[in-house]
Amino acid sequence: MASPPRLPWGAVERSNGSLGTDFILLGFSGRPQLEPIIAVLVFLFYMVALLGNSAIILVSHLDVQLHTPMYFFLSNLSFLDLCYTTSIVPQMLVNLWGPSKSITYAGCVLQFFSALVLGATECLLLAVMAYDRYAAVCQPLHYTVIMHPQLCRKMVLTCWLGGLGSALIICSLTLRLPRCGHREVDHFFCEMPALIRMACVYSKVIEYVVSALGVVFLLTPLSLILISYGVITRAVMRIRSTTGRRKVLNTCGSHLTVVALFYGTAIYMYMKPPNATSQEEGKFFTLFYTIITPSLNPLIYTLRNKDVKTAVKTRLLVKKY
């Protein structure tokens, strides 16, 4: 007897014999009493992320004094955070507020791919920003020569290409896994671990690839960041001026805070042993680094950075004629 034909990865046979490609995002349906609260909080954090990151991009473009490598990288980080949250939150709010929890196959793949590209790019960009701070503090006389605009653009482009390459590899491997008709994604968006868990076979290849990419995009950049700030700390200790030391610490402190928030939760989620945490706990950790952290980044930089605060007040909040 011939076996039934194997369905495509995103297809599920319905009762009437047709093929459906919608997935079900379970999200927080296991705790329905929390869904309205989570929806309100996510909406508020999303508004903060939109306004804060848009403000940084605008002032970095409008204020001539902010046309420096540091703010060029910061505006790119804000753009990444805007895209990252926007690829997740609108669909998430629709599912939290409405009766339907579905997402189309194309929408799921797009969300999956976008999150991978943007997340991997941000990992690399944070390392580039640490190198920029190293050059500014440790090589101040040669800073403008080292961090010239052409190099800055090449570094950002390299970050994007690295993120794109890693996403293509992971997506191509993950989407080939047989699902055996499974449609339910036990998450609030189409994230890699949730999609891999849907597969009805175990793939050691994907496990090795994910581990290797985790080292490349998480552990290696974080190691370079820590080395950079180790050298910066030695240089700061040699600064005799209290004002100069405070300025350096404020600038570097903002970046280190962002690094700690982003890498801390991302490493915990992607580099931990399998089944180290419950699925529900993993959702809340993911909620933190995908939505809360991008909304906190603009606040961290503006609250600790006098130049950004001044630019926001003069360019966006106060208009004198």
Answer yes or no: is 197 within a domain: yes
Contact 163, 120 (CB under 8 A): yes
Measured CA to CA, the distance from residue 97 to residue 75 in angstroms comes to 32
Measured CA to CA, the distance from residue 159 to residue 122 in angstroms comes to 8
Instruction: Give the pLDDT mean for 117-143.
Output: 92
Tokens of 31: 């705790």
Higher pLDDT, 152 or 97: 152
Please report, rounded to a whole number, the percentage of residues in the chain having pLDDT higher than 90.
30
Answer yes or no: is 9 within a domain: no
Answer yes or no: is 294 within a domain: yes
Measured CA to CA, the distance from residue 182 to residue 11 in angstroms comes to 9
Which residues, in sequence order, are CB contacts of 230 under 8 Å at separation 6+?
Answer: none
Tokens of 51: 């306004």
Higher pLDDT, 320 or 70: 70
Answer yes or no: is 318 within a domain: no
Mean pLDDT, the chain, integer: 82
Match 């089944």 to its residue by tokens.
275
Report whether pLDDT(1) > 50.
no
Instruction: Give the pLDDT mean for 116-135.
Output: 93
- Domain holding 225, by residue range, is 19-300
**Counted domains in the chain:** 1
Answer yes or no: is 3 within a domain: no
Report whether pLDDT(62) > 80.
yes
Other C-beta atoms closer than 10 Å to the C-beta of 254 total 21
Beta strands in the chain (DSSP E): 12-13, 19-20, 23-25, 102-103, 184-185
Answer yes or no: is 90 within a domain: yes
Which residues, in sequence order, are CB contacts of 76 under 8 Å at separation 6+?
Answer: 125, 156
Q: How confident is the model at residue 79 (pLDDT cuts 50, 70, 90)?
A: very high
Report whether pLDDT(153) > 60.
yes
Query: What's phi and psi for 188, nearest 5 deg?
Result: -95, -5
What is the Cα Rg of the chain in Å? 22
Measured CA to CA, the distance from residue 301 to residue 226 in angstroms comes to 19
Answer yes or no: is 307 within a domain: no
Q: How confident is the model at residue 121 (pLDDT cuts 50, 70, 90)?
A: very high
The CATH number that applies at residue 92 is 1.20.1070.10
Report whether pLDDT(65) > 70.
yes
pLDDT of residue 221: 92
Answer yes or no: is 167 within a domain: yes
Contact 101, 25 (CB under 8 A): yes
Higher pLDDT, 299 or 203: 299
Higher pLDDT, 114 or 265: 114
pTM for this structure? Answer: 0.85
Report whether pLDDT(312) > 60.
yes
Measured CA to CA, the distance from residue 174 to residue 112 in angstroms comes to 10
Which residues, in sequence order, are CB contacts of 315 under 8 Å at separation 6+?
Answer: 58, 59, 62, 63
Cα–Cα distances in angstroms (integers) from residue 208 to residues 123, 152, 170, 223, in the given order: 20, 33, 11, 21
User: What is the tens place of the pLDDT at every residue in 176-221?
Assistant: 888 877 888 888 888 888 888 888 877 778 878 888 888 888 889 9
Instruction: Give the pLDDT mean for 236-250.
Output: 73
Report whether pLDDT(144) > 70.
yes
Q: How many residues would you count in the chain?
A: 321
